[in-house]
Amino acid sequence: MDNHLAAGWCWYNTLDRRKEYNFCHIDQHDDLANDKHDIVKDLFEETPISLERYISLHYEQPSKVVMPPVKAIRWDNYILHMKSVFPHWFMKEVYVCHDFVSGKKSSVTNTQPYDSYYDLDNGWQEYPVHPININCYDLSQILEEHIGNNEGRLWIVNLDVDYFLNNKVQLFTETYIESICTQIVKEKAKIAVLTIALSPDCCGGWENAIRVYNYIAERLFIEMRL
């Protein structure tokens, strides 16, 4: 797909809707826009769902508003839409993005979760709970620690090739990209589904997006080339 618009559809048609999973998002952007979820909850009462139905879902504008219908599922809001229906697919969340992802940002209700601990001098203290954020320097090692050493749930791995670029500039070497691919291959038995997006608008065009995708696909032993 040319962006992550249909990633949720892939998960829905691949995963066991009753099982718990962990979630890892590797992307230049967090894709955590938070919109109304009611129409999506109604959508996922249907089985099966065609891709056309999924991507065409929209909100009608009020009668007095002279505007086209609003697309319900977009490249920037699909994660929280899926989380609103399947919260058990996000038991542990790992974000590998260019910006920090807070607990509030990754919350369907847009509220910051807190936990507490007991301090001998000050009594019970609250602290904000955030998803796991991984920086680029530790990515390969931390992927091994979180995915490789997790003996329970399988993982959803959501990869956008724009993570490796900043518009027309490739931020990371092929050696770095290969190290990430090597780690994903190593942990493939613990990955339930891998979705890959190209996002050409954030890669300086199709040429860059396709070049990086094909490099990744070869190292992940994915047959499809572009």
- Summarised one tens digit per residue, pLDDT across range 117-160 is 777 888 888 878 889 998 888 788 888 888 877 778 999 999 99
Structure tokens at 131: 């998803």
d(CA 147, CA 149): 6
Which band of pLDDT confidence, cut at 50, 70 and 90, is reported for residue 213? very high
Q: How many CA atoms lie within 13 A of 58 on its CB side?
A: 10
Q: What's CA 78's distance to the chain center, in Å? A: 8
SS3 104: coil
150 near 188, Cβ under 8 Å? Answer: no
Which band of pLDDT confidence, cut at 50, 70 and 90, is reported for residue 67? confident
pTM: 0.90
pLDDT at position 65 over 70: no
d(CA 224, CA 214): 8
Percent of the chain at pLDDT exceeding 90: 56
Q: Which of 154, 183, 174, 168 is nearest to 26 (CA)?
A: 183
Q: Which CATH number fits domain 4-37+75-219: 3.40.50, 3.30.70, 3.40.720, 1.10.150?
A: 3.40.50
Mean pLDDT of the chain: 89
Top pLDDT among 95 and 37 is at 95
Q: Please, which residues have CB within 8 angstroms of residue 173's CB and are 6 or more apart in sequence?
A: none
77 near 35, Cβ under 8 Å? Answer: yes
d(CA 85, CA 82): 5
Q: Please, which residues have CB within 8 angstroms of residue 8's CB and are 6 or more apart in sequence?
A: 54, 73, 78, 79, 81, 82
Q: Which of 226, 119, 99, 220 is nearest to 166 (CA)?
A: 99
Which band of pLDDT confidence, cut at 50, 70 and 90, is reported for residue 48? confident
